[in-house]
Structure 1
Amino acid sequence: MIRELAKSIREYKKLSIITPILISLEVVIECTIPFITASLVNKIKNGCDLNTIIRYGAVLVIMAVLSLMFGAIAGSTAATASCGFAKNLRKDMFYSIQNYSFENIDKFMTSSLITRMTTDVTNVQNAYMMIIRTAIRSPLMLVFAFVMAFVMGGRMAWIFLVMVPILASGLALIIYKTFPLFKKIFKKYDALNRSIQENIKGMRVVKSFVREDYEQKKFDEAAQDVCADFTKAERILALNGPLMQFCMYVLMIFVLSFGSYTIISSRGLDFDIGQFSAILTYGFMILSSLMMLSMVFVMITLAGESAKRIVEVINEKSTLSNPENPIYTVKDGSISFENVSFKYSEKAKRMALANINLQIKSGETIGIIGGTGSSKSSLIQLIPRLYDATEGVVKVAGIDVKKYDLETLRNQVAVVLQKNILFSGTIKENLRWGNKDATDEELIEACKLACAHDFISQFPKGYDTYIEQGGTNVSGGQKQRLCIARALLKQPKILILDDSTSAVDTKTDASIRKGLKEYMPNTTKIIIAQRTASVEDADRIIVMDGGTINGIGTHEELLAENEIYREIYTSQNKVGDQNEN
């Protein structure tokens, strides 16, 4: 895990090395200052002249300035290195997600991926800053302060060896108690983010069903869950302070009492005021170092779970990959399914598709119809390798789709999915997802074919109209037509419309189908629809039922021979009612 995370340091490796060096110099100077101060106090006690005081004072000022300078520079380099490390982590995660197949994406919840790229990365970033700064400073300070305490205080310094185990044991217990709580918190963070995401995405549904109270209650429960665990963890962590104060006051009482007694008594020959002040300072340094170390351990404990979640995303390998010698040319739009079966997960008990055998000629228009859950979408997702067939072979242009370069295949298979997605940006920018080099004339032509040009022209800014996130400022039908136009700009060998005209009226639907037939006669067109009117003029219609092909034929043939198709057609056209009348 650490090795995987370290790969994201990259260009910030130099700053990550410089920071501990600067911190070490700062610690050495800080630990030397009390020693020089003790020497100055003793000189003053023995009646030194002003020049001696000025000389010592100048040295102390220079050392303080150097310590400040090293600390400030170290703070700057640590901040730059940790922020850069976090930037690279997010970049690596995002790039990894872009390579995921649909199967990989199904493995992670969207809310979980968002939490990992925000909260988890921030935790690792903070831990990394503490590691290259505080985690270096605290042990060094602890060691140097111990050594100097024994140099200055002799036998009195043994008190630190008594107090350190007490403080260390308390801190270890605190960390032990908080670790499992932090593990639980991240899963609850995912649930909280999922609640927020679902609410915002489905805001229109929430308001139309007047379910604000229910959503607020659901959010409150998720937020309270996170709050409860965090509160419990923070309460335990809050014991750090009292424990530190206890050890510090015990130390002060002992040093002040025993030190004062030693100085006042005849033993003062071996122990003076300068040493007394120095050992008190070193005592504070030792305890504060232990306190900082405890915070580092807590942060690392918190970040450890975050790091695991980040590495899971980075290490997740796509279930789809290019072959060793991929084919970069798709000759035509012919499609073949040979004994194809498919299920979404290895753990799934039943196949989504079973024993599919199908031949589609290049340039053919194929309609696919069937009830909800009949696996219509599952069938077409195997063509551009959004998923791979579990059994059998899917071929395009007579070649197994697994032998194609993925990018080449998907550029020649344009899919307009059920869930039409538009991105933040102008209409032009969204359309050019289909072809980044498309001219304005080509954009207009594609939009005319998709019956989108007329409504775009009515916008004050036309094709420069800004589309809000998710296309919330256009209607469902407008969104569908823009997505169809975007797919047309790819000029693919195969065009798949997955129920992508469901939000437009039948007249517009017919106009789109007519335009597609005339504009791209050599392109294979597959139209998935709920309405028989959307597919009745197709060359052939496939009737799906329970993941199998129930029938194939023309509109007339299926009306005469296929019970499922006839039932769908009758229910939609109310033929039965008309015959009764």
Structure 2
Amino acid sequence: MIKLLKNLKPFALSVVIILILAFFQSMADLNLPNLMSDIINNGILKVNAKGASNPDIPYIWSTGGKMLLVSAASITCAIIGSLIASKTTLGLTRNLRKKLFTRIESYSLNEFDKIGSASLITRTTNDITQVQNVVIMMLRMLITAPMMCIGGVILALRKDQALSIIFLVAIPVLIIVIVLIGGGVVPLFKLMQKKVDKINLVLREGLTGIRVIRAFDRQEVEKKRFDEANADYTNTAIKANKIMAGMMPLMMLVMNLTSISIIWFGAKRIDLGEMKVGDMMAFTQYAMQIMMSVLMVAVMFVLIPRAQASAVRINEVLDMKPEINDPKNPMKSSEGEKGYVEFRNVSFNYPGAEEPAISNISFKARPGETTAIIGGTGSGKSTLISLIPRFYDASEGSIIVDGVDIKEMSQEDLRAKIGFVPQKAILFSGTIESNIKFGNDNASLDDIKHAAQVAQASEFISGMKDGFNSPISEGGNNVSGGQKQRLSIARALIRRPEIYIFDDSFSALDFKTDAKLRAALNKETSNSTVIIVAQRVSTVMNADRIIVLDEGKVVGIGTHKELLNSCEIYHEIVASQLSEEELA
């Protein structure tokens, strides 16, 4: 928590102003009982020579006016302090969210896998909200409470030292109650944040997988799953709040007993002539201020552990160092080489895996050529191409792009050379135009139309009511799988990169559209390096170079005809998809 509070440095001036306002507010509040005591002792209960009470009306009006001014000053300080505290806290949490999001964006896929998307969402929203709630209370209460407590004790001692002995009993009892309640509720608060993670996970899976859930008629099962996660969190929260609910009655009991004790013993001291009525009233007010200050601090120290649990989770994200970093002195590729890709004895292991996903891969891909990668499920095709944009870093060997090892280049420079179409087509909420333009912010409408035409998307776009301004829902759920793939391809085309990577990006297309798209791509990418991962033989058979993978190893490299004669695995793949006539 302390580590996160260091982010208040940009708001140091605001914190200083809050401290000053809190000081003046405390002084004003502490002065009110003293003025009230003066009204009672010297105004209302003023005794004349005959022993009769003789209220001094002018004195009452004068001192009452001072009380109104002091109250107004206290209220003004409180309002301004609360306003500045709110703005300061919201500024802090805004900066924290920005830091978290920036850090998360720098993660490799391995870091995402370690924490999980659901937990990252919870940490960016709920956890920061917990910290926000505590910080604003600290700025508004934790600064004022100690001043009120210390000032109240000093003024109470000045009024009557003998009566102040009551505090030696009341305050320890108050602290014991707080410690007992805090000890029971703190572990539950920490547990609640993990329960929120679980709810977020189940909810996210239920929303993103709604089509599968409905297709298999599993609505009731998912509802039960969510109810269990929700009930688990609810029960923990209820248990924590039941313990917290006992705090206020116990606090009020101690405070009321303290008031009764002050009145009881104070009345006896008044009867003995050792104390005035106004002083006892002021003493009672100081006692309430002291007890309320202790109560405010107590509430803070009960809530801080929950924020501390959230702060630890936030710091885990901020402190986790990305495995993939830019070199201190990144190298630039030479101007003469554009689009050259070379794998030199590359191997890669997923963290915790016993066997490497790919082993000892070597090949070259050049501009103007199409390199296709084919193989069975789990052979390492997608893993291989994920290493080129440095989604993961190779465990062994090196990948050379334009004559430079990609680990020696900045990630920005490397990815600027690549137009990547992922296996799972992802679209963002917005319009068709904004999704295609995602690949190049500076693209003109003509560029967008051309990219859509090459990607064979123009026909279905023109059939929509608003054309390129047609809305795309979250995840592209309002368009078909084939349409999503074509829009993803258009997004890569508009980038006009040196290297195109298509990760099984034609699987949802019919054979006619696939053929037309590949023909258009051949013209559009004639000067670029094209790397295609595909399951269909028809997609790769015209490639300049076909790499056949099996269990993460290269078992054949060559053209379609060469591999039919030299690679048994490729022959089996072709035979499973083509008839004997086509194979001949």
**Is the Cα contact below 8 Å between 2:575 and 2:583 reproduced in 1?**
no
The equivalent of 1:499 in structure 2 is 504
Task: Choose from 460, 471, 485 the match for 2:465.
Answer: 460
Write the distance in 2 (CA, Å) between the matches of 1:355 and 1:539. 22
The equivalent of 1:479 in structure 2 is 484
**Is the Cα contact below 8 Å between 2:190 and 2:305 reproduced in 1?**
no
Deviation digits for residues 58-78 of structure 1 (CA, Å, limit 9, x no counterpart): 111100110111111111111
TM-score (normalizing by structure 2): 0.95
Q: In terms of mean alpha carbon deviation, does 504-513 or 316-325 score higher?
A: 316-325
SS of corresponding position for 1:527:
strand
Write the distance in 1 (CA, Å) between the matches of 2:553 and 2:12. 56
The equivalent of 1:337 in structure 2 is 343
CA deviation after TM superposition for structure 1 residue 577, in Å: 13
**Is the Cα contact below 8 Å between 2:574 and 2:583 reproduced in 1?**
no
Write the distance in 2 (CA, Å) between the matches of 1:350 and 1:94. 33
Structure 2: tracts of 5 or more residues without a match? 47-53
Task: Choose from 182, 191, 197 the match for 1:184.
Answer: 191
SS of corresponding position for 1:366:
strand
CA deviation after TM superposition for structure 1 residue 358, in Å: 1.6
**Is the Cα contact below 8 Å between 2:19 and 2:143 reproduced in 1?**
yes
Structure 1: tracts of 5 or more residues without a match? none
**Is the Cα contact below 8 Å between 1:414 and 1:490 reproduced in 2?**
yes
Q: Give matches, 1:109-508, under 5 Å.
A: 109-264=116-271, 267=272, 269-329=273-333, 331-345=337-351, 347-508=352-513
SS of corresponding position for 1:133:
helix
The equivalent of 1:2 in structure 2 is 2
**Is the Cα contact below 8 Å between 2:333 and 2:402 reproduced in 1?**
no
User: Which structure 1 residue ranges, 4+ long, deviate > 4 Å from structure 2?
Assistant: 574-579
CA deviation after TM superposition for structure 1 residue 359, in Å: 2.1
SS of corresponding position for 1:91:
helix
The equivalent of 1:61 in structure 2 is 68
Q: In terms of mean alpha carbon deviation, does 239-248 or 195-204 score higher?
A: 239-248
Write the distance in 1 (CA, Å) between the matches of 2:433 and 2:13. 43
The equivalent of 2:515 in structure 1 is 510
Q: Relative to structure 1, is the Cα distance of residues 364 and 5 closer, same or farther in structure 2, using a 3 angstrom cutoff?
A: farther
What code does the residue aligned with 1:69 have? T
What code does the residue aligned with 1:425 have? G
Deviation digits for residues 508-544 of structure 1 (CA, Å, limit 9, x no counterpart): 1111111111122121111111111111111121111
SS of corresponding position for 2:440:
coil
**Is the Cα contact below 8 Å between 2:33 and 2:285 reproduced in 1?**
yes
Q: Give matches, 1:529-568, under 5 Å.
A: 529-568=534-573
What code does the residue aligned with 2:345 have? N
CA deviation after TM superposition for structure 1 residue 134, in Å: 0.6
Task: Choose from 59, 62, 71 the match for 2:78.
Answer: 71
The equivalent of 2:101 in structure 1 is 94
Write the distance in 1 (CA, Å) between the matches of 2:377 and 2:419. 23
Write the distance in 2 (CA, Å) between the matches of 1:45 and 1:10. 53
Write the distance in 1 (CA, Å) between the matches of 2:128 and 2:19. 22
CA deviation after TM superposition for structure 1 residue 306, in Å: 0.7
CA deviation after TM superposition for structure 1 residue 350, in Å: 2.0
The equivalent of 1:23 in structure 2 is 22
CA deviation after TM superposition for structure 1 residue 348, in Å: 3.0
State the identity as a percent.
40
Q: Relative to structure 1, is the Cα distance of residues 198 and 28 closer, same or farther in structure 2, using a 3 angstrom cutoff?
A: same
Write the distance in 1 (CA, Å) between the matches of 2:440 and 2:583. 48
CA deviation after TM superposition for structure 1 residue 280, in Å: 1.3
Write the distance in 1 (CA, Å) between the matches of 2:223 and 2:5. 38
CA deviation after TM superposition for structure 1 residue 102, in Å: 2.1
What code does the residue aligned with 1:508 have? T
CA deviation after TM superposition for structure 1 residue 405, in Å: 2.2
Write the distance in 2 (CA, Å) between the matches of 1:5 and 1:502. 51
Deviation digits for residues 554-577 of structure 1 (CA, Å, limit 9, x no counterpart): 222222232222222222235499
RMSD across aligned positions (CA): 1.8
CA deviation after TM superposition for structure 1 residue 328, in Å: 3.4
Write the distance in 2 (CA, Å) between the matches of 1:175 and 1:215. 36
TM-score (normalizing by structure 1): 0.96
SS of corresponding position for 1:298:
helix
Deviation digits for residues 342-400 of structure 1 (CA, Å, limit 9, x no counterpart): 1122x332211111122223322111111211110110111121211111111112321
CA deviation after TM superposition for structure 1 residue 133, in Å: 1.6
Write the distance in 2 (CA, Å) between the matches of 1:235 and 1:183. 16
SS of corresponding position for 2:377:
coil
SS of corresponding position for 2:372:
strand
Write the distance in 1 (CA, Å) between the matches of 2:365 and 2:574. 24
The equivalent of 2:49 in structure 1 is none
CA deviation after TM superposition for structure 1 residue 11, in Å: 4.2
